[in-house]
Chains A and B, each alone.
Chain A
Amino acid sequence: MAVISYREALRAAMREELKRDDKVVIMGEEVAQFNGAYKVTEGLLKEFGPKRIVDTPISEAGFIGLGIGASMLGIRPVMELMFWSFSYVAFDQIVNNAGNIRYMSGGLINCPIVIRGPANGGTNVGATHSHTPEAILASHPGIKVVCPATPYDAKGLMKAAIRDNDPVYVMENTILYNDKGEVPDEDYIVPLGVADVKRLGTDLTIVAHGRAVITSLKAAEILEKEHGVSVEVVDLRSIRPLDEETILASVRKTHRALLVEENKPFCGVDAQVAYLIQSKAFDELDAPIHRVSSIDAPQIYCKRMEDLQMPNVERVVAEALKVLA
């Protein structure tokens, strides 16, 4: 097993799928000549040429819509959004067209498209570039949404997404791009809709996705060392489909749940998870479900305050102790 970065893992996934299937095309702003705004696609133009690796103008509604149209005829476009925040100018294409066309055609059409890019706050760039739209998009039937937290999951989920025959939106994280981890050399996928228990524990379940998983794992260490609490961390990996069984199994074991995510609190992913737990494991709970999300305001620019606005280790530890009280 090689130790590679989250960024390299994503690139390896695309490289392998480009080799495996000549219908796979990488498209987006700066993905080819510039080697990727975040260097995720670095080197792909050189290896695969301009037919497979395509620079687009800054024109999200146009090129995302183009990719959706091409996917209806069997092309498998992997579209990079420089930030998922920019998806908002292509919302009609992403939701109405990719998300609805199979349904409205009574199953005659499908869109095997992947749209990927970073969706995170914490980078000191202000509100317009810091959106985390996984809950917004996952609320639309017809769309799949995944949020990898580690290099292993980034590669496996990306490969599954490219092979998937429905629209899959992969939300990455610029802060994780340099994180390193073990990734197998052989071909593998992480199926969509399978959560992963990233840390075993007995006293409290933390459910998280994306970078909140990393924050939660750090908090779990502190909770064990300083408070003697055994925390289990469930990484959703996939928002829709959702692995309900893994969440419920963990809660049935620990009887306490804390939900952590970087979204704002209103209508976040944790709202759905909290509903699930109360509906299917209510009698298992020894305490109310708590959550840690970003403070409910547009993303603040000031770096010192943004670090406090988002879930951080201190806030997770403090909230965990409340659930355990």
Chain B
Amino acid sequence: MAKPAVLTHPESLKRPAGPSEYAKDPVNASMSKAEKIALYTKMARIRHFEQRCIRIYQQGKIGGFLHLYVGQEAVAAGTISLLGKNDHIITGYRDHGHGLMVGMGMNECMAELTGRVTGCSQGKGGSMHYFAPDKNYWGGHGIVGGQAPLGTGLAYAVKYLGLKGSCLAYMGDGAVNQGAVHEAYNLASLWDLPVIFVVENNGYSMGTSQERSTAHPGCLAKRAEGYNMAWDVINGHDVYEVRAKTAIALKRAHEESKPTVLEIFTYRYFGHSMADPDKTYRDKEEIKEYREKKDPVLAFEQELLSEKVLTPELSLKINEAAMAEADKAAIFADESPDPTVADITKHIYWEEDNRGPKTTSRGTIIFE
């Protein structure tokens, strides 16, 4: 039996979920009651959307891979809740939470999972490839770590255009051993780019625990030192802590145009994907322990109840509404049409989709 993943999160284990010591951090203390309720609502929506996905997957309506975000909600919620109009995000394949956080609708997200033309990518991307560039969300990427250079490029573009902004490039703990991530780290620091690499460390790269996959000097974020980059570690069950520490990195990006590596300790309650029976590499007790002590949605609920921002009645209402919204999205996804055979060859080239006098291409580009 591998050592429990939570042991690799020493800070996280020392302090069980309780009142957040970051509640009084200015970035949190300045939130209005309505903003706090909205943030909780978003976390609850991610939780219920993902849980609804499990049923649809089990009904055989979702193909391919389905990587659930349940347990990690506070990471996307905390970080994305801080972003402004010139802040961009990009992530790997566990991308539903980020999509809902930037404001994508449950309908388009669910319909993408079932391969419908009403999906956010018109049924061409699937679970791993959500995109909403109008909301500064650049995917949804299937290859571990492959998005890190792209996120660095988005930050480069923000800087090139003279904007005060950033890019948050998310990845899992498994991605930190990919060459592309190290190359991105180097460029980000070398060129002072406003990128924040967010390592969502859930303890396992697929079925391989962190101690079996990664050599590191105490934590993964510390690798940033080798690139002369700032770094921090964050308890990912505490959305207030996520916000407080991300705000510092964001300020560094906005005001100094400097990159940061943030390692956020978190945990996933389900297998790597739905294809993972989750029976070989971790103990059920480990999952139970985290759920009971550190569930990020419940922890924030408790926090807001004790702050008297939330009442049990309001919480129930929010959760019921989120469940109903997910149910409706499931029906929408069921009833939506598939793309057509003719749709298969659309959206391959911009020039094909936008033929006009300025088109610089001729000839055959789609072959029989």
Within 8 A of A (CB), among B312-368: 346-351, 353-354, 358, 360-368
- Give the docked Cα–Cα distance between A287 and B319 (Å): 74
B77: min CB distance to chain A, Å: 24
B156 touches A192 (CB 8 A): no
With the chains together, A63 CA to B346 CA distance in Å? 29
> Interface extent on A, as a size class?
35 or more
Q: Which 10 A-B pairs have the closest CB atoms?
A: A69-B153, A65-B149, A193-B363, A62-B183, A107-B347, A106-B122, A69-B150, A241-B363, A73-B157, A105-B131
B275 within 8 A of A: no
Inter-chain contact A192/B142, CB cutoff 8 Å:
no
A279 to B364 CA separation, bound complex (whole angstroms): 15
Which residues of A lie under 8 Å from residue B179 when comparing CB positions? 61
A25 touches B160 (CB 8 A): yes
**13 sampled A-B residue pairs with Cβ under 8 A:** A62-B183, A63-B149, A63-B187, A71-B153, A75-B157, A75-B161, A101-B139, A104-B140, A141-B348, A141-B366, A192-B360, A241-B362, A241-B363
Known contacts A64-B149, A65-B149, A71-B153; is-contact A105 B139 (Cβ 8 Å):
yes
Quick one: CB contact mask for A92-113 with B, threshold 8 Å, 1 for yes?
Answer: 1100110001111111111010
A166 touches B350 (CB 8 A): yes
- The answer for the CA separation of A106 and B150 in the assembled complex, in Å, is 18
Nearest residue, chain B, Cβ from A99: B348
Are B351 and A164 closer than 8 Å at their CB atoms? yes
- Interface flags for A47-91 (1: CB within 8 Å of B; 0: not) read 000010000110101111111111111110000000000000000
**Nearest Cβ on chain B to A31's Cβ, whole angstroms:** 15
Instruction: Report chain B residues within 8 Å CB of A51.
Output: 160
Q: How many A-B contacts are there with CB distance less than 8 Å?
A: 197
Shortest distance between the CB of A224 and any CB in chain B (Å): 29
Docked-complex contact B142 and A96, CB < 8 angstroms: yes
- Known pairs A69-B149, A96-B142, A109-B133; A62 contacts B186 (CB<8 A): yes
Most buried by A among B149, B354, B365: B149
Chain A residues contacting B152 (CB-CB under 8 Å) are 62, 65-66, 69
Whether B298 sits at the interface, judged by CB under 8 Å, is: no
Residues of B within 8 A of A101 (CB): 131, 139
Q: Are B119 and A59 in contact (CB under 8 A)?
A: no
Residue B125 at the chain A interface, CB threshold 8 Å: yes
Q: Is B243 an interface residue (CB 8 A)?
A: no
Check B353–A107 contact: CB distance below 8 A. yes
Does residue A238 face the partner (Cβ distance < 8 Å to B)? Answer: yes
Cβ of A112 to closest chain B Cβ, rounded Å: 8
Answer whether residue B151 sits at the interface, using C-beta atoms and an 8 A cutoff.
Answer: yes
Residues from 153 to 167 in A contacting B, C-beta threshold 8 Å: 160-161, 163-166
Q: Chain B residues with Cβ under 8 A from A96's Cβ?
A: 142-143, 146
- Since A62-B186, A74-B161 are in contact, a sample of 13 more A-B pairs with Cβ atoms closer than 8 Å, ordered by chain A residue number, is A62-B180, A68-B149, A72-B138, A72-B150, A73-B161, A96-B142, A102-B347, A102-B349, A105-B124, A106-B119, A108-B133, A142-B349, A193-B362
Beta-carbon contact of B129 and A104 below 8 Å: yes
From the candidates B119, B154, B350, B358, name the one contacting A70 in the complex (CB within 8 A).
B154
Do A61 and B183 have beta carbons less than 8 Å apart? yes
Interface contact B124-A244, CB-CB below 8 Å: no
Beta-carbon contact of A65 and B157 below 8 Å: no
For B141, give the chain A residue with the smallest CB separation: A97
Q: List which A181-222 residues lie within 8 A (CB) of chain B.
A: 189, 191-195
Q: Which residues of B contact A108 (CB under 8 A)?
A: 121, 131-134
* Interface status of A319 (Cβ within 8 A of chain B): no
Contact status of A142 and B348, CB under 8 A, knowing A62-B183, A65-B149, A164-B361: yes
Find out whether the CB atom of B351 lies under 8 angstroms from the CB atom of A165: yes
Interface residues of B in 29-62 (CB under 8 A from A): none
Instruction: Tell me the chain B residues, 151-186 only, with Cβ under 8 Å from chain A.
Output: 151-154, 156-158, 160-161, 167, 179-180, 183-184, 186
Contact, CB under 8 Å: B153 / A61: no
How far apart sit A52 and B101, CA to CA, in the bound complex (Å)?
35
Residues A65 and B150 in contact, CB atoms below 8 Å apart: yes
Tell whether, in the assembled complex, residue A57 and residue B187 are in contact, meaning their CB atoms are under 8 Å apart.
Answer: yes
Closest CB in chain A relative to B65 CB, distance in Å = 14
Cα–Cα, bound, A160→B360 (Å) = 6
Q: How far is the CA of A289 from the CA of B353 in the complex (A)?
A: 35
Q: Which of B51-89 contact A (CB under 8 A)?
A: 88
**Smallest distance from the beta carbon of B80 to chain A beta carbons, Å?**
18
Which of A61, A69, A71, A160 has the most chain B CB atoms closer than 10 A to its own CB? A69
Smallest CB–CB gap between B31 and chain A, Å?
30
B17 within 8 A of A: no
Q: Which chain B positions have C-beta within 8 A of A107? A: 122, 346-347, 353
User: Residues of A contacting B350 with CB < 8 Å?
Assistant: 102, 110, 112, 165-166
CB-CB < 8 A to B346: which residues of A? 107
Specify which chain B residues have a CB less than 8 angstroms from the CB of A103 in the assembled complex: 124, 347-348
Interfacial chain B residues near A71, Cβ < 8 Å: 153
A279 — which chain B residues lie within 8 A by C-beta?
368
CA distance A73 to B119 in the complex (A): 23
- Is the pair B121, A105 in contact by a Cβ cutoff of 8 Å? yes
Q: Which of B133, B156, B347 is close to A66, meaning CB atoms less than 8 Å apart?
A: B156
Q: Are A241 and B364 in contact (CB under 8 A)?
A: yes
Residue with the greatest number of chain A CB neighbours at <10 A, chosen from B353, B361, B364: B361
Let me know if A242 is at the binding interface, CB within 8 A.
yes
Would you call B2 an interface residue if the criterion is a C-beta within 8 Å of the partner chain's C-beta atoms? no
- Of residues 279 through 309 on chain B, the ones whose CB sits less than 8 Å from some CB of chain A are none
Residues of A within 8 A of B119 (CB): 106
Query: How distant is the Cα of A112 from the Cα of B349 in the complex, in angstroms?
Result: 10
Out of A105, A191, A238, A272, which one reaches B129, CB within 8 Å?
A: A105
Contact between A104 and B131 (Cβ–Cβ < 8 Å)?
yes
Bound CA–CA A193/B180 (angstroms): 33
Chain A residues in 8 Å Cβ range of B358: 163
Query: A70-B160, A166-B349 are contacts. A193–B361 as well, Cβ < 8 Å?
Result: yes
Q: Does B120 contact A (CB under 8 A)?
A: yes
Task: Decide if B248 is an interface residue (CB 8 Å cutoff).
Answer: no
User: In chain A, what residue has the closest Cβ to B126?
Assistant: A104
Asked whether, in the complex, the Cβ of A68 is within 8 Å of the Cβ of B150, the reply is: yes
Answer yes or no: B148 CB below 8 A from chain A CBs. yes
Q: Using a CB-CB cutoff of 8 Å, which residues 179-202 of chain B contact chain A?
A: 179-180, 183-184, 186-187, 190
Chain B residues, Cβ within 8 Å of A66: 149-150, 152-153, 156, 184, 187
